[in-house]
Amino acid sequence: MIINGIGMSEYTKTKQNHLKIILDVHIRISNCIIRKNQNFRKEFCYIDTNSGPGKYSYKGQEIMGSPMVFLNSSIKFNGQVHAFFIDENYDSINALRKISAIGFKMPKYDVRCFTGKNYEILGDLEEARAIPRILGIVYVDPSGTIYADQPKNQVTYFEILSLLSEIPTFSIVDFLMNVSCSNIKRVRSCSLTKRIPTLRQAIEGIKGKKYWLIREPYARHQWTFILGTNWYGFPEFEGIGLYHVRSKRGNEILEELNLTKSEMEE
Ligand SMILES: C[S@@+](CC[C@H](N)C(=O)[O-])C[C@H]1O[C@@H](n2cnc3c(N)ncnc32)[C@H](O)[C@@H]1O
């Protein structure tokens, strides 16, 4: 079901629960790193490239959108929080501006909302190049597509992340993406669309992130979370089925999600 450009399904609640678990742990770890190491800035940067309106309802139930999931988790961060929310839908950003202002006005919070195409806005974040490296997360949650510029179908989210990963500011910012692997396979088997790599090739193409984790897939669209980091010791989240791709289970998940049935038979 698509409402205001936001795809919603039975999986949405699981997605938000898992996002909260990952963000809570990430913020706890970031606090530890900063406490133990004076060289790290007491700042956290969160960029949500597909923020949506911050809350919506599905089948009569209110669901917290990713920006509010993050802001609530970030209450526990012991330092300055920079949150950049991007969405091409004007109404969504307008709604988000209003609800994120409630409770997140203190000096600890630097919350900015942008309306427009994420790849253009990220491209304009030239000032980010001047910022020394900072802890954080870039969260990418398109509605199943891997293209950021539909209907032109030129720029994929993997390419955007690849470019970001090369900017020194983002060297310790982890990348988290909610992906539909069956959609990637569908695009790969369509002769009319630009040839795109397999999930494994796409991940390996993001040169600025050395280690990847992948979550057990959900539903027929094979929804998964992938997380890219430069920290070898990034913990696995067995409770939600998120494993390093270098582990036995992680490698099995990636294999299962990587190729179409006919590619596997070739
Ligand atoms: C699945 S929804 C995001 C939901 C949100 N992350 C959450 O958890 O509440 C995808 C969003 O991406 C936005 N979107 C799609 N393509 C975009 C683009 N190229 N640039 C910015 N926003 C985009 C849509 O307007 C939609 O709000």
For residue 133, the model assigns a pLDDT of 83
Segment 111-131, tens digit of pLDDT: 999 999 999 999 876 666 677
Which residues, other chains included, contact 110 with Cβ-Cβ below 8 Å and sequence gap of 6+? 80, 81, 82, 83
Among 102-106, 149-153, 159-163, 187-191, the range with the most confident prediction by mean pLDDT is: 159-163
For residue 115, the model assigns a pLDDT of 97
For all residues of the chain together, what is the average pLDDT?
91
For residue 5, the model assigns a pLDDT of 61
For residue 103, the model assigns a pLDDT of 84
Which region, left, alpha or beta, applies to residue 151 given φ > 0 means left and ψ of -120 to 50 means alpha? alpha
Confidence of residue 21 (pLDDT cuts 50, 70, 90): very high
Q: What's the gap in Å between 195 CA and the centre of ligand 1?
A: 23
Domain assignment present for 23: yes
Q: What's the gap in Å between 45 CA and the centre of ligand 1?
A: 19
Give the number of residues written for the chain.
Answer: 266
Domain count, the chain: 1
Q: What's the gap in Å between 19 CA and the centre of ligand 1?
A: 15
Could you give the 3-state DSSP secondary structure of residue 90?
helix
Q: Is the pLDDT of residue 239 over 90?
A: yes
Domain of 225 in residue numbering reads as 9-265
Domain assignment present for 192: yes
Domain assignment present for 51: yes
Domain assignment present for 41: yes
Domain assignment present for 3: no
Given the CA of residue 142, which atom of ligand 1 is nearest to it?
10
For residue 58, the model assigns a pLDDT of 82
What CATH number has the domain bearing residue 188? 3.40.50.150
Segment 193-213, tens digit of pLDDT: 656 889 999 999 999 999 999
Domain assignment present for 85: yes
Contact 40, 31 (CB under 8 A): no
Confidence of residue 98 (pLDDT cuts 50, 70, 90): very high
For residue 128, the model assigns a pLDDT of 66
Q: What's the gap in Å between 49 CA and the centre of ligand 1?
A: 7
Given the CA of residue 54, which atom of ligand 1 is nearest to it?
9
Contact 186, 193 (CB under 8 A): no
Question: Distance (Å, rounded) from C-alpha 106 to C-alpha 129?
Answer: 26
**What share of the chain in percent tops pLDDT 90?**
71
Confidence of residue 1 (pLDDT cuts 50, 70, 90): low
Q: Is the pLDDT of residue 7 over 80?
A: no
Q: Is the pLDDT of residue 252 over 70?
A: yes
Q: Which helix (H) or strand (E) holds 239?
A: none
Verify whether ligand 1 is closer than 6 Å to residue 86 (CB atom).
yes
For residue 78, the model assigns a pLDDT of 96
Contact 44, 74 (CB under 8 A): yes
Q: Is the pLDDT of residue 64 over 90?
A: yes
Neighbouring-strand partners of residue 175: 138, 228
Segment 128-179, tens digit of pLDDT: 667 788 999 999 999 888 999 888 888 999 999 999 999 888 999 999 999 9
Given the CA of residue 15, which atom of ligand 1 is nearest to it?
8
Helix, strand, coil content of the chain in percent (nearest 5): 40, 25, 35
Domain assignment present for 217: yes
Domain assignment present for 2: no
Q: Which helix (H) or strand (E) holds 255?
A: helix 248-258
